[in-house]
């Protein structure tokens, strides 16, 4: 009798050390890779959160992503990226799988189930980037903050929304939506007073914020300026 064909499990593959593949723990605040370093590995988050930032030639830093478990990052090296265009740093203790470019390409060619997993991630990431661009072009900073809070709290996923970690502070939120810390603080206080969020160290997002965004309620005013 012929033996049954081996079933490839993408999650098991990512969770185990193997050829061209290592697993490392990163303590909070540790840099996983820095802007300008050689790009020759792809990373997969088993647990924890990672912040990706970019620094301009003028020295201005911007947060371009907050990544969580089951997400890849550093995949630009698969498409000819020679050096890192940003810096990835652990926001909390992380367990991360790193895969060499060579091993990643070999697995993508050999294992259709892994290719499907990775393509799904890329499509989801592309959609998120497109939505972020539309958000920046057409929405006020207040609505951009509301949308970001909903995303960070995992609204729309199974289960109840999760509190937003205290490490994602007002300065980080401001960088992610392209506004000042003072405006971000003003909007957070406004959301709290309206009962859209609870804010006590960690931010807890209420469903009323989702309703305010979806149904264009006048609670979110376009381009409202904070009073000094």
Hey, what domains does the chain have and what are their CATH numbers? 12-114 (2.60.120.10), 133-214 (1.10.10.10)
Read off the pLDDT of each residue in 149-176 and give the average, rounded to a whole number: 82
Estimate the crossing angle of helix 101-110 against helix 112-138, to 10 degrees: 110
Q: How much is the pLDDT for 157?
A: 65
Query: Is pLDDT above 50 for 31?
Result: yes
Q: How much is the pLDDT for 163?
A: 87
User: Residue 211: which pLDDT band, with cuts at 50, 70 and 90?
Assistant: confident
Model pLDDT for residues 94-137, shown as the tens digit of each residue: 999 999 999 999 999 999 999 999 999 999 988 888 888 888 77
CA separation for the pair 203, 170 (Å, rounded): 11
Compare 161 and 123 and report the one with higher pLDDT: 123
Instruction: Check the CA dihedral 141-128-151-59 and report its sign.
Output: negative
| 19: Cβ contacts below 8 Å, ≥ 6 apart | 103
Read off the pLDDT of each residue in 35-60 and give the average, rounded to a whole number: 92
């Amino acid at each position: 009798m012929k033996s049954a064909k081996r079933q490839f499990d993408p999650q098991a593959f990512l969770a185990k050390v193997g050829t061209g593949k290592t697993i490392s723990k990163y303590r909070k605040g540790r840099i996983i890779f820095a802007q300008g370093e050689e790009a020759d590995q792809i990373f997969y988050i088993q647990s924890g959160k990672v912040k990706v930032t970019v620094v301009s030639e003028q020295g201005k830093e911007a947060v371009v992503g907050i990544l969580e478990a089951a997400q890849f990052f550093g995949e630009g090296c698969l498409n000819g990226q020679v050096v890192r265009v940003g810096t990835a740093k652990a926001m909390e203790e992380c367990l991360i799988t790193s895969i060499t470019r060579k091993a990643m390409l070999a697995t993508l060619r050999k294992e259709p189930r892994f290719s499907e997993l990775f393509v799904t991630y890329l499509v989801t990431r592309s959609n998120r980037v497109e939505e972020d661009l539309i958000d920046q072009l057409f929405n006020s900073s207040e609505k951009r903050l509301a949308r970001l809070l909903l995303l960070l709290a995992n609204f729309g996923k199974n289960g109840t929304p999760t509190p937003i970690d205290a490490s994602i502070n007002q300065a980080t939120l401001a960088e992610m939506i392209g506004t000042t810390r003072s405006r971000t603080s003003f909007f957070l206080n406004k959301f709290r007073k309206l009962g859209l969020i609870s804010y006590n160290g960690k931010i807890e997002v209420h469903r009323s914020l989702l309703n305010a965004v979806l149904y264009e309620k006048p609670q979110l005013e376009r381009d409202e300026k904070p009073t000094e």
